[in-house]
Amino acid sequence: MTNSPDKTPTAVLIGVTGGFGHPLAKLLANEGYRLVLAARRESDAAALTGRSDGSAIYVRADVADPASLKELAAAAFEHLGRIDAVVNLAGISPRKAIGEYTQTDVDSMLEVNVKGPIFVTQAFLPGLLEQAGGSVIVHVGGAMDGRVGLPFMSAYAASRGALAGYVQASNRELDGTGVALSFFGPAPANTESESAYFDMWHEMGVDLVEPETVAGEILTTIRKRRQQHVMGGLMLRMMSAVNAVSPSAADVIGLRKFGKLMTQYHPR
C-alpha cells in the first residue's frame, strides 16, 4: 500500500467513541499512523485525541449527515495529504422480537447502518480515486458476514445484509481502480454494549475477544485490503460460508441450536 509522501501510513476513523474506537486509534498510532478521528460526541473524541501523541486530529462528523461527512473528507485530505484507510466504526444493534422494533428503531438503523456506509463511501471515494496507490474503506458490520439472520435480530440483520450487499456491489464496480471496500465482521467482544449477552455467548461456546484483538484484526484488514473479514473462529466462519450457500444446511450444523439459545435469552 502506498502511503503519504513521507511514507507514513494514514487513516480516518469514524465513530471512535464506540467500543473498538480507542483500541484501534491507540494501535494505529503505535504503528506509526497519522490519524483523523471523527465522532458525533465532540467531548469523547476530543479526549481520545488528547491521549494521542499529537499525530491525530479530531473532526466532528455524523454518518447520517452527508454534508458533515464531506467536510470530514475535505479536512482529512487537507491534513493527511493522502489517505490509506477509512474505517467506519459507527453502528447500532437493537435486539428485539419482530413486533417490538419501533419505527424509531428501524429509522435509526437505516440512518446509521445502511445510509451511513453509503454516505461515508461517497464522501471519500472521489479523493481516494484521484490519489495514487491502493486504499481501503472498512465498514465494521455485525458478527459473521452480514448475511446470517438470527432470532431477535430481524431488523438489525436486514440492515447488515444491506451493508454486505453494498460492499459486494461496490467492489465489483471499483474493480481495477485501486480502491476496495471491506465488510468487517467482528467477533463478539468484551464491550459494554455486549455485556448483557456474555452468558449467552458462553453457553453457545463462543469465546469473547478483547477489543484490542478486534483492533488488531482491523489492522490486518487494512494492510491486506480484504474485501471481507469474518472473526469468531473457525466455527463462525464455517457457518457463515455454509449459510451463504444453504441456510438449511447451516441450521443443521449449528445455527438452529444458536437460535434456540438466543430465544432462551430473549423470551417472547
* pLDDT tens digits for range 59-110: 999 999 999 999 999 999 999 999 999 999 999 988 899 999 999 999 999 9
C-alpha span between 59 and 223 (Å, rounded): 24
pLDDT at 2: 42
In this structure, what are the phi and psi dihedrals at residue 235, rounded to the nearest 5 degrees?
-60, -50
Q: Strands of 179-185's sheet, edge to edge?
A: 56-60, 34-39, 10-14, 85-88, 135-140, 179-185, 228-230
> Among the CATH numbers 3.30.360.10, 3.40.50.720, 1.10.510.10, 2.60.40.1530, which is that of 10-234?
3.40.50.720
* pLDDT tens digits for range 152-171: 999 999 999 999 999 999 99
Identify whether 156 is a catalytic site residue: yes
The pTM assigned to this predicted structure is 0.90
Determine which of 56-60, 143-147, 175-179, 251-255 has the lowest per-residue pLDDT on average. 143-147
| DSSP H stretches of helix in the chain | 21-30, 42-50, 66-80, 103-109, 116-130, 154-173, 198-204, 211-224, 233-245, 247-250, 256-265
pLDDT at 75: 96
Given a cut of 90, is residue 252 above it in pLDDT? Answer: no
**Confidence class for position 48, pLDDT limits 50, 70, 90:** low
**Confidence class for position 46, pLDDT limits 50, 70, 90:** low
pLDDT at 8: 92
C-alpha span between 244 and 124 (Å, rounded): 30
Any residues with CB less than 8 A from the CB of 41 and at least 6 apart, and which? 17
Residue spans per domain, the chain: 10-234
pLDDT at 57: 92
Given a cut of 60, is residue 208 above it in pLDDT? Answer: yes
Mean pLDDT across the stretch 260-264?
81
DSSP character at residue 10: E
pLDDT at 150: 84
Given a cut of 90, is residue 231 above it in pLDDT? Answer: no
With beta carbons less than 8 A apart as the criterion, state whether 9 and 201 touch: no
**Confidence class for position 1, pLDDT limits 50, 70, 90:** very low
Q: Which of 58, 156, 166, 197 is catalytic?
A: 156
pLDDT at 199: 81
Mean pLDDT of the chain: 88
**Confidence class for position 145, pLDDT limits 50, 70, 90:** low
More confident call, 47 vs 266: 266
pLDDT at 126: 97
